[in-house]
Amino acid sequence: MAWDKTGAVRYLQANARLSSQSRCAEYTRRAIEAGGLRITHTAYAKDYGSSLVGAGFHEVDGTPQRGDVVVIQAITGHPYGHMAMFDGQIWISDFRQLHGFYPGQTYRTMKPTYKIFRHD
């Protein structure tokens, strides 16, 4: 299935807020859908891996590329995990993440497991 990752990234860039709205999965999912793909909704960001695979994404390692999506597992105090998309420069979810794909200091300290997905 064709996916307009440029359109998805533009949607996310246009809609990102200045700080977290605690709606990372919703914003990232809507960006993916703005690019033309439909993915199964899940209750928590940490559970979106299988939905992404079902929409044609696959897990990758290495340097992120524009349109890649990270799914991060839960940590203490953040039971829903996190999800964001790489715009080619920074990771964006419901806000512009200026310090990498981990959305905050607690994530950066705890370093929970994550997977990066790409749609070719």
pLDDT of residue 120: 87
d(CA 5, CA 16): 16
What total number of domains does the chain contain?
A: 1
Looking at residues 57-74, what average pLDDT do you find?
Answer: 97
Count how many residues are written for the chain. Answer: 120
Rounded to 5 degrees, φ, ψ at 76 are -55, 130
Residue 21 belongs to domain with CATH number = 3.90.1720.10
Looking at residues 54-64, what average pLDDT do you find?
Answer: 96
pLDDT tens digits, residue range 15-50? 999 999 999 999 999 999 999 999 999 999 999 999
pLDDT > 90? residue 2 = no
Looking at residues 103-113, what average pLDDT do you find?
Answer: 96
Q: Which residues pair with 75 in a beta bridge?
A: 78
Q: What residues make up the domain containing 32? A: 5-118
Under a CB-based contact definition with an 8 Å cutoff, are residues 45 and 81 in contact? yes
**DSSP string covering 58-116:** EEE-SS--TT-EEEE--BTTBTT-EEEEE-SSSEESSBEETT-SS-SHHHHHH---EEE
pLDDT of residue 74: 96
> Which one-letter amino acid corresponds to residue 83?
M
- Percentage of residues of the chain with pLDDT beyond 90: 97
pLDDT of residue 1: 56
Looking at residues 49-73, what average pLDDT do you find?
Answer: 97
